[in-house]
Chain A
Amino acid sequence: MPLITKDLIAQHNLTGDEYNKIVDILGREPNITELGMFSVMWSEHCSYKSSRVHLKKLPTTGPRVVQGPGENAGAVDIDDGLCVVFKMESHNHPSFIEPYQGAATGVGGILRDIFTMGARPIALLDSLRFGELHSPKNRHIMKGVVSGIAGYGNCMGVPTVGGEIVFNDIYALNPLVNVFCLGIAKKDKIFRGTAAGVGNPVIYFGSKTGRDGIHGATMASDSFDDTSEQKRPTVQVGDPFTEKLLLEACLELMERDLLVGIQDMGAAGLTSSSCEMASRAGNGIELDLTVVPRREPGMTPYEIMLSESQERMLMVAKAGKEDECIAVCRKWDLDVAVVGKVTADGILRVMDQGMVVAEIPAKALADDGPRYERPYQPPAYQDMLTNLNYDLIPDIKDGNGALLALLESPTIASKRWVYEQYDHMVRTNTMVRPGSDSAVVRIKGTNKAVAMTVDCNSRYCLLNPYEGARLAVAEAARNLVCSGAAPIGLTDCLNFGNPERSDIMWQFVMAIEGMKDACERFQVPIVSGNVSFYNETNGLSIYPTPMLGMVGLIEDVGWTMTQWFKSEGDDIILLGTTREDLGGSEYLKVVQAREQGSPPYLNLDVEKALQDCVLSLIRGGLLQSAHDCSDGGVAVALAESCISGSGWTRGAVVTLTKGRLRDDAVLFGESQSRVVISVKPSQRQAVLDHARSFGVPADVIGMVSGDRLVISVRHEGAEECLIDQPVSELLDRWAYAFERSLNHV
């Protein structure tokens, strides 16, 4: 047996202090298997050692919360005896090393988190970040990730109904792949990962265990350098067909009252699933590796315990129900074996060929890992980022050119090329397909639907992490509201650089504070989440990206709203106030090549009033369309409302009030708390009165009309036309820019 040397400890990414703590817990030196088990469970990825003290600040409770953070996924009540179960997770590191498998297994992992809870997955969304498409390497990563998501999700028969993609070279060496999944479960049939009941059998089922993915969790807890691509063997390989069988087998097992607890083998595989289930129940587990189904002979206990082979599950069955469990697994052609039992001594004891190969207190391994209060302070460069002298930036001369450039920028352009590769309709629930403010799926057997969105403007978060996080919460909620949904819950996926750096830790702490304040104001609880640190290569860190997945409830499917203009002659109304909010805007990046300034101003009370107003207007049947103003400001929002309908376009003639603002701020500034709505002329007065009663400014800015988008600016009685384009041209640029940038470089 190898001697535990300092090198070996360092290779396992453990510090000297952490190793000493292990020795204290065991009362002896660990053997190599135990060292491996501690290293994965105490990795940043599994233990949240740098983030946990801050995550505690987030609001996680509310009247609808059925399950908050700490389980495989969160669950929120939607009445009728049902709840939605959802979570978002990152698979960033593996997706850079091996884009197809990295993304595919990311989808596989989040799906297991959902169906482990007893929920049938009904929707996937993805939030992706890549370097700009002019680089072949970035295109390769993007195409691989999209294919991987498609390959896994399509085969599983879970529709990928929405998402967002942002391109920025800061993500070239650290792409982000964040996958959100939502499932539906009966409220009284939620399953949890608990090893209750001493003597109950512990059953392994799913795929066989192989040598893939060993140390995946540790790899995901480290920064990258030039040799990162050599880490390919730490990336797992996905098998969606087996996962589909696993899904059906799990749901059938759960129907039949056979289980006490169940957990998937994700990061840290058999180690995490066994010790976490034991720890939650205050029990121990005894495992016999001899009977673990395996892909190849000669695997050591170390390899079996650390393997991250996909599509595997561990269940604790009711005593005497082993045979029934095994029969269900066999029906679905899955490997299955009783690999152990629940014990009373609180020890995770691992046997192989009759010998004890590891013996660790389960709670110490699962929950007593190190906790760090890492130092944090704003970086010296922060002021340079936010100080921007607008007098040095000339106001816009060519409004048409700027609008077309924005519509063509891959971040704003239609992602049709991507989402047509995803099956977004299977399960026949998709009411609003990809391409609107949020995705909407109906809940069969009810008159309800759920809306989902994933959002984060990481440039805002770079410029001001506190404001950026608040803005992300506000935009997510606004997107849901524009679809007719009331926000009911949130999951987060917090992507940051190296937490051992005080500037990165400052970004993290500020972002948590911002999320907390906004979530409390909107009364949206955070029920699940994931932290991904060390998104950094050769010392260069990504922009702070606290990705949010928000879920809203549409209590009557008739309230579902979409963003595109419907009928010729409808009035167009802008709700909210336009300010000089150019800082951090897509316009500054695309047209002026600057990623600077302060992010837009946000007042949470104003935002809440706007959202309440829009929801009330939709429920009153007063609106034809509603679209949130975000990237590219009101001009892009208007253009999208003209061209994003399925199979038709509409023109619009609009006049905006300039006031004391610059023209570019009026057109492309990203002032918050604004929504473009269209209404039938007969409803116009009612809508204006309604807005006034909510204290929300409302201006009739134009009319849905013709086949051109014409935007003028009014200043002291005079009108100047800044944008005049045929809608067909806007559509062509927006709809095909993505393919062109892939094919013509």
Chain B
Amino acid sequence: MNIGVVVFPGSNCDHDCAHVVKDVLGHDVTMVWHKEASLAGLDAIILPGGFSYGDYLRTGAIARFSPVMQAVKQFAGDGGLVFGICNGFQILLEAGLLLGAMLRNRSLHFVCKDVYVRIENAATPFTCVLKPGQILRIPIAHADGSYYTDPVTLAGLQANAQVTFRYCTADGKAVPEANPNGSLDNIAGICNAEGNVLGMMPHPERCVEALLGREDGRAIFQSMIMSLERKKLAAAR
């Protein structure tokens, strides 16, 4: 597979995502400069974490105007897999590829620590090797991660099983104490109605090697690769 990692000015988890795809999972990676207009030849797109344009304005609010985002919209519209992590999630929200918005963390501080998330929908291309209700321990690192949306949209997300991850306790309870940032309904990640665009605040790319402590994040990347392989196989038939 050839996975594209978009580099916005101020992206800083781009190398980390590339490391996972290339060095850990053994696939090709292409760094995509934000001024690119075409994503031809790429099998999936990752929008990495960081502080695009410094995030001095609302997070992701300027990055959505980068030329590459038109191509990303097209790519997603054609059914391609688009995966936004942290700042990438924020950009997907601003670009309208996912519904909702991010508020400042409840604590008003940046927070970097391990949290637990529960798999709410194991049928997406990004979670297909996981089981519903499975619990992963993954780090978060953000100042603006409090997910918010209006009640109607929230009801829609819930009804369509678009809530993909919820913050939970170590034993899987999605209670307020397990919510690290004040997100509505403990939401840690959502997908679009078609399931091919996913955004999540936790950083799965930070936990794919036992050397760094845990490998819980690996399953998400493996799901993505497996989905792509299935798709290729189906197309070949």
With a CB–CB cut-off of 8 A, which chain A residues contact B9? 241, 244-245, 332-333
Task: Name the CB-closest residue of A to B141.
Answer: A423
A636 in the interface (beta carbon within 8 A): no
Cβ B141 vs Cβ A154 within 8 A: yes
Cβ B203 vs Cβ A425 within 8 A: yes
Which of A199-207, A427-435, A472-480, A683-691 binds B?
A427-435
Given the interface contacts A244-B12, A420-B111, A422-B112, does A430 sit within 8 Å of B212 by beta carbon? yes
Given the interface contacts A431-B211, A444-B19, does A154 sit within 8 Å of B110 by beta carbon? yes
B32 in the interface (beta carbon within 8 A): no
Which of B46-54, B151-159, B171-179, B184-192 binds A?
B46-54
Q: Mask for B105-128, Cβ within 8 A of A = 1, else 0?
A: 000011111100000000000000
Size of B's binding interface in residues, CB under 8 A: 32
With a CB–CB cut-off of 8 A, which chain B residues contact A420? 109, 111-113
Cβ B110 vs Cβ A150 within 8 A: yes
Q: Mask for B1-18, Cβ within 8 A of A = 1, else 0?
A: 000000001101101100
Most buried by B among A241, A242, A333, A646: A241
Given the interface contacts A157-B12, A557-B211, does A428 sit within 8 Å of B111 by beta carbon? no
Cβ A426 vs Cβ B16 within 8 A: yes
A241 touches which of B16, B51, B113 (Cβ 8 Å): B51
Q: Mask for B28-40, Cβ within 8 A of A = 1, else 0?
A: 0000000000000
Bound complex: CA of A242 vs CA of B56, how far in Å?
Answer: 11
B139 in the interface (beta carbon within 8 A): yes
A362 to chain B, nearest CB (A): 35
Bound complex: CA of A251 vs CA of B110, how far in Å?
Answer: 28
Cβ B206 vs Cβ A425 within 8 A: yes
B94 in the interface (beta carbon within 8 A): no
Most buried by B among A155, A333, A424, A557: A155
Q: Mask for A425-459, Cβ within 8 A of B = 1, else 0?
A: 11111110000000000101000000000000000
With a CB–CB cut-off of 8 A, which chain B residues contact A308? none
Given the interface contacts A154-B141, A157-B12, A428-B19, does A421 sit within 8 Å of B112 by beta carbon? yes
A431 touches which of B10, B113, B212 (Cβ 8 Å): B212
Cβ B13 vs Cβ A244 within 8 A: no
Cβ A421 vs Cβ B139 within 8 A: no
B212 touches which of A244, A421, A428 (Cβ 8 Å): A428
Most buried by A among B10, B50, B110, B112: B112
A239 in the interface (beta carbon within 8 A): yes
Cβ B54 vs Cβ A425 within 8 A: no
Bound complex: CA of A642 vs CA of B212, how far in Å?
Answer: 22
A499 in the interface (beta carbon within 8 A): no
A425 touches which of B55, B139, B143 (Cβ 8 Å): B139
Task: Name the CB-closest residue of B to A433.
Answer: B213
Most buried by B among A155, A240, A419, A425: A425
With a CB–CB cut-off of 8 A, which chain B residues contact A647? 114
Given the interface contacts A156-B12, A240-B54, does A424 sit within 8 Å of B112 by beta carbon? yes
Given the interface contacts A157-B12, A425-B203, A428-B16, does A241 sit within 8 Å of B54 by beta carbon? yes
Bound complex: CA of A231 vs CA of B12, how far in Å?
Answer: 35
Cβ B111 vs Cβ A421 within 8 A: yes
Q: Mask for A309-336, Cβ within 8 A of B = 1, else 0?
A: 0000000000000000000000011000
Cβ B10 vs Cβ A244 within 8 A: yes
With a CB–CB cut-off of 8 A, which chain B residues contact A557? 211
With a CB–CB cut-off of 8 A, which chain B residues contact A426? 12-13, 16, 49, 141, 206
Given the interface contacts A155-B10, A157-B13, does A244 sit within 8 Å of B51 by beta carbon? yes
Task: Name the CB-closest residue of A to B112.
Answer: A423
- Secondary structure of the B contact surface, majority rule: mixed
A365 to chain B, nearest CB (A): 35
With a CB–CB cut-off of 8 A, which chain B residues contact A156? 12
Cβ B50 vs Cβ A157 within 8 A: yes
With a CB–CB cut-off of 8 A, which chain B residues contact A151? 110
With a CB–CB cut-off of 8 A, which chain A residues contact B203? 425
Bound complex: CA of A211 vs CA of B207, how far in Å?
Answer: 45
Cβ B15 vs Cβ A427 within 8 A: yes
With a CB–CB cut-off of 8 A, which chain A residues contact B143? 154
With a CB–CB cut-off of 8 A, which chain B residues contact A646? 114, 213
Bound complex: CA of A332 vs CA of B20, how far in Å?
Answer: 25
Bound complex: CA of A421 vs CA of B111, how far in Å?
Answer: 5
Bound complex: CA of A431 vs CA of B53, how far in Å?
Answer: 29
B33 to chain A, nearest CB (A): 8
B51 touches which of A155, A421, A425, A444 (Cβ 8 Å): A155
Bound complex: CA of A147 vs CA of B107, how far in Å?
Answer: 13
B109 to chain A, nearest CB (A): 5
Task: Name the CB-closest residue of A to B50.
Answer: A157
A209 to chain B, nearest CB (A): 20
With a CB–CB cut-off of 8 A, which chain A residues contact B209? 428
With a CB–CB cut-off of 8 A, which chain A residues contact B12? 155-157, 244, 426
B207 to chain A, nearest CB (A): 9
Bound complex: CA of A333 vs CA of B213, how far in Å?
Answer: 38
Cβ A241 vs Cβ B139 within 8 A: no
Cβ A155 vs Cβ B54 within 8 A: yes
Bound complex: CA of A364 vs CA of B76, how far in Å?
Answer: 63
With a CB–CB cut-off of 8 A, which chain A residues contact B55? 155, 241
Cβ A240 vs Cβ B16 within 8 A: no
With a CB–CB cut-off of 8 A, which chain A residues contact B205? 428
With a CB–CB cut-off of 8 A, which chain A residues contact B114? 646-647
Bound complex: CA of A442 vs CA of B114, how far in Å?
Answer: 19
Which residues of B189-237 are within 8 A (CB) of A?
203, 205-206, 209, 211-213
Which residues of A213-250 are within 8 A (CB) of B?
239-242, 244-245
A333 to chain B, nearest CB (A): 6
Which residues of A100-157 are within 8 A (CB) of B?
147, 150-151, 154-157
A563 to chain B, nearest CB (A): 15
Bound complex: CA of A674 vs CA of B114, how far in Å?
Answer: 33
Bound complex: CA of A646 vs CA of B170, how far in Å?
Answer: 13
Which residues of A295-353 are within 8 A (CB) of B?
332-333
Task: Name the CB-closest residue of A to B23.
Answer: A444
B172 to chain A, nearest CB (A): 16
Bound complex: CA of A420 vs CA of B10, how far in Å?
Answer: 21
Bound complex: CA of A22 vs CA of B211, how far in Å?
Answer: 58
Bound complex: CA of A420 vs CA of B211, how far in Å?
Answer: 21
Residue contacts A-B, CB under 8 angstroms, 24 given:
A150-B110, A154-B112, A154-B141, A155-B51, A155-B54, A157-B51, A241-B9, A241-B55, A241-B56, A244-B9, A245-B9, A245-B10, A332-B9, A419-B112, A420-B113, A421-B110, A421-B111, A425-B112, A425-B141, A427-B16, A428-B16, A431-B213, A646-B114, A646-B213
Question: Apart from A423-B141, A431-B213, what 4 extra A-B contacts exist at CB < 8 Å?
Answer: A420-B113, A423-B112, A428-B19, A428-B205
Residues on A facing B (Cβ under 8 Å): 147, 150-151, 154-157, 239-242, 244-245, 332-333, 419-431, 442, 444, 557, 646-647
Residues on B facing A (Cβ under 8 Å): 9-10, 12-13, 15-16, 19-20, 23, 49-51, 53-56, 109-114, 139, 141, 143, 203, 205-206, 209, 211-213
Give 6 closest A-B pairs by Cβ, nearest first.
A157-B12, A241-B54, A155-B51, A428-B16, A423-B141, A423-B112
